[in-house]
Chains A and B, each alone.
Chain A
Amino acid sequence: MKPGINYDIAITHIVTRKKQTMVAALGVTLGVAVYLFMNSLSAGFSGFSRGEIFKNNAHIKVYKADEISTPLAQDAHAESVILNPQITTLSQRLINPEMLLKEIKQQPFITHAITQVDVSAFYNRGNTQIKGTASGVNMDDYAAMFNTEKYMVAGSISALRGNLNGTIIGAGIAEKLNLSVDDNIAVSSSYAVTKVLRIVGIFSTGNSLTDNSKSYINTATAQQFLKEGPSYVTTIYANTPDPDKAAAYAEKLQAVVPYIVEDWKTTNADIVAGDKTRGTLMGAISLSILFVAAFGIYNILSETINQKINDIAILKAVGFKGRDVIQIFVAESIIMGCIGTILGLGLGAILISIMSGIYMGGPVGYFPIKFELHLFIRSLFLGILITCCAGFFPAKKAANVDPVSIFRK
């Protein structure tokens, strides 16, 4: 059996009915373009919101969990002692943080790791007081991990190096307290330690919550605010090469670290769930549009088969098998599908490039949409798969045509 003749016939049908072919292909074009565009929108936006998370969240967080007291006796034979369970953690400090940090950094899947000491702080100027958080970090390491350099609007990160009386504050604090670089700011902690710090830098991330409350100081300064010694560290943050695999890396890290290891998806479960919901929603809408396009092909092919029922009967009479007829019509729908899908990818690409040039304003800037290769591949695959299916059912019907009943008419 030679399949050549089947494709020959399919191509002749396509060529002699250019208009119908184009109508069917255009349906697929629109379907694929919308599918690609909507999924790119969704992926772009997810990427953007993830970027927002990683501005000041690490992929993995290591901290000490609170311990809850348990009843003294649980044995059935012993006398029960009923206790009011309560938190018995005396200190949140990690023991020997230098060693721990070193060990974490040695793991092959960790790209960056830093220690951080957070202090609840009040920024004061005159009668004005702003509540916020001062993060005690090694600023050079921190900046390397979170790209803080990108958000600096005044001063510099390097000015904080070794400067125990310096601070980098959020743009919101600077604005409210009417401060600029080289001004002094009085910062007090909940342990009643007050220091006057010199502002060496101002940052703006675009997230007002962060910009209005956060400041960076050296680790030693933070320890002083908490009236603690130089080995006091409560949290270690680490980054991995791929945030999507953070959970797996966290599990690996847990094997070597005696504290709680938490990946960012657990910490930001609400945002992750929101992303997932949006992705599913967009996927469902765009997939149903693709289905409508597939019905276009189904319709046109059914129509063609009704028109060509005599030709199908004659082909079967001269010795074409049922599967040859299926091959002919499925090949036709695949040709239409391929034309439509390729045009659709082109149209989708145009829509994406138009969208990426639209300015949204605010911290978002230009609309966060990108050309994502995997989405193009998925659209191509889906477009052809769906048209293939849409072609199969009318083709099956054609294959079952009884030539005798046609010739008798």
Chain B
Amino acid sequence: MNKHAILQARGISKHFYTPVKFKVLDQISFDAYKGEFLTLVGKSGCGKSTLLYCLSTMDTAYEGELFIADQQITGQKPNDLAALRNERIGFIFQFHYLLPEFTCIKNIMIPALKLGRFSKAEIEEKAYQKLTLLGLGDQALKPASKLSGGQQQRVAIARAMINNPDIIMCDEPTGNLDSRNAGIVFDMFKQIAHDFGQTVIVVTHDNDFASASDRTIELEDGRIIQVRSN
């Protein structure tokens, strides 16, 4: 199989300076391929979330180089990075982070309205399709704050998918979901990666979850200690 690297990390290192200088990431290099479901695992404090934020382009204070879709990311201006995130990267966070005063469908539509590639009606249609796909079609017009945790997490997934990004990044997406909801989310990711050809990078401490993904990178003390194809 001819694998195309969508994301390439080359020698990424990062220090924390408070309270004392501490090397949190040490020379991390790996590739993530198109259509791959990749998990980052490791003990608490091993630097896996920090690595995800560096990969996400939101954290720019690192050494080394990062490429997304053969484009050098390191050194780009914040506004260009924001536009790139909007188009190419979708995020799902541990604490869902929906905008509480907007309806579910509006929350999903916001990144697409920002991108402005389609008309408002088309975006609304797409957003509704995604919601229906995730089994939340009937909740579309409810304010986001009125939904349960699992429902909010699924809305967040729909939001991450709306612009058909190359990469979807998740920080502990199942961290505060029950096993049934976690299962739904897991199946979603698998479907996204395998059926839609998008790359999913998930940070998790759940080993069962990780072992069911395509490939697992294990970190310890800021270094890659094991790469395991499942």
Chain B proximity of A396: nearest CB distance (Å) = 14
Encoded as 1 (CB less than 8 Å from any A CB) or 0, chain B from 99 to 128 comes to: 111100010001101111000100000000
What is B's interface to A at a CB cutoff of 8 Å?
Answer: 49, 53, 56, 58-59, 78-79, 82-87, 91, 93, 97-102, 106, 110-111, 113-116, 120, 159, 171
Docked CA distance A320–B85 (Å): 9
Given known contacts A404-B53, A407-B93, A1 and B116 CB-to-CB distance under 8 angstroms: yes
Docked CA distance A408–B91 (Å): 14
Encoded as 1 (CB less than 8 Å from any B CB) or 0, chain A from 355 to 379 comes to: 0000000000000000000000000
A183 at interface by CB-CB < 8 Å = no
Q: Which residues of A sit under 8 angstroms from B113, Cβ to Cβ?
A: 2, 4-5, 8
Chain A proximity of B167: nearest CB distance (Å) = 13
Q: Which 7 A-B pairs have the closest CB atoms?
A: A319-B86, A2-B116, A5-B113, A16-B101, A318-B111, A321-B82, A319-B85
In contact, A319 and B87 (Cβ under 8 angstroms): yes
A53 at interface by CB-CB < 8 Å = no
A147 at interface by CB-CB < 8 Å = no
Docked CA distance A323–B171 (Å): 27
A13 at interface by CB-CB < 8 Å = yes
Q: Which residues of A sit under 8 angstroms from B86, Cβ to Cβ?
A: 318-320
**Which residue, of B98, B102, B159, has the highest number of chain A Cβ atoms within 10 A?**
B102
A322 at interface by CB-CB < 8 Å = yes
Q: What would 18 A/B residue contacts be, using CB atoms closer than 8 Å?
A: A1-B116, A2-B113, A5-B113, A5-B114, A12-B101, A13-B101, A313-B97, A315-B99, A315-B110, A317-B91, A318-B159, A320-B86, A321-B79, A324-B114, A402-B58, A404-B58, A407-B53, A407-B97
Chain B proximity of A257: nearest CB distance (Å) = 66
Interface residues of A in 304-340 (CB under 8 A from B): 310-311, 313-324
Given known contacts A404-B53, A404-B59, A318 and B99 CB-to-CB distance under 8 angstroms: no
In contact, A322 and B78 (Cβ under 8 angstroms): yes
In contact, B79 and A311 (Cβ under 8 angstroms): no
Docked CA distance A323–B53 (Å): 22
Q: Which residues of A sit under 8 angstroms from B53, Cβ to Cβ?
A: 404, 407-408
Docked CA distance A310–B98 (Å): 9
Q: Which residues of A sit under 8 angstroms from B93, Cβ to Cβ?
A: 314, 407
Given known contacts A319-B115, A404-B53, A407-B53, A314 and B79 CB-to-CB distance under 8 angstroms: no
Q: Which residues of B sit under 8 angstroms from A402, Cβ to Cβ?
A: 58
Docked CA distance A322–B80 (Å): 11
In contact, A5 and B110 (Cβ under 8 angstroms): yes
A314-B93, A321-B82 are known contacts; what are 13 more A-B pairs with Cβ within 8 Å?
A1-B114, A2-B114, A2-B116, A16-B101, A311-B100, A314-B98, A315-B99, A317-B85, A319-B85, A319-B86, A319-B114, A407-B53, A408-B49
What is A's interface to B at a CB cutoff of 8 Å?
Answer: 1-2, 4-5, 8-9, 12-13, 16, 310-311, 313-324, 402-404, 407-408
In contact, B58 and A317 (Cβ under 8 angstroms): yes
Chain B proximity of A328: nearest CB distance (Å) = 11
Q: Which residues of B sit under 8 angstroms from A12, Cβ to Cβ?
A: 101-102, 106
The majority secondary structure among interface residues of chain A is helix
Chain A proximity of B202: nearest CB distance (Å) = 15
Docked CA distance A23–B170 (Å): 40
Docked CA distance A4–B98 (Å): 20
Docked CA distance A267–B55 (Å): 78
Given known contacts A407-B53, A407-B171, A318 and B101 CB-to-CB distance under 8 angstroms: no
Docked CA distance A46–B27 (Å): 77
Docked CA distance A365–B98 (Å): 64
Docked CA distance A56–B161 (Å): 82
Q: Which residues of B sit under 8 angstroms from A315, Cβ to Cβ?
A: 99, 110
Docked CA distance A403–B49 (Å): 13
In contact, B97 and A319 (Cβ under 8 angstroms): no
Docked CA distance A119–B98 (Å): 89
Docked CA distance A317–B49 (Å): 15
Q: Which residues of B sit under 8 angstroms from A314, Cβ to Cβ?
A: 93, 97-99
Q: Which residues of A sit under 8 angstroms from B115, Cβ to Cβ?
A: 319
Given known contacts A5-B114, A404-B53, A321 and B83 CB-to-CB distance under 8 angstroms: yes
Chain B proximity of A331: nearest CB distance (Å) = 15
Given known contacts A317-B85, A319-B87, A322-B79, A311 and B99 CB-to-CB distance under 8 angstroms: yes
Residue of A nearest to B111 (CB): A318
Chain B proximity of A365: nearest CB distance (Å) = 55
Docked CA distance A402–B115 (Å): 21
**Which residue, of A2, A13, A319, has the highest number of chain B Cβ atoms within 10 A?**
A319
Docked CA distance A14–B181 (Å): 34
Docked CA distance A8–B105 (Å): 14
In contact, B102 and A320 (Cβ under 8 angstroms): no
Q: Which residues of B sit under 8 angstroms from A313, Cβ to Cβ?
A: 97
Docked CA distance A310–B79 (Å): 19
Q: Which residues of A sit under 8 angstroms from B91, Cβ to Cβ?
A: 317-318
Q: Which residues of A sit under 8 angstroms from B116, Cβ to Cβ?
A: 1-2
Q: Which residues of B sit under 8 angstroms from A13, Cβ to Cβ?
A: 101
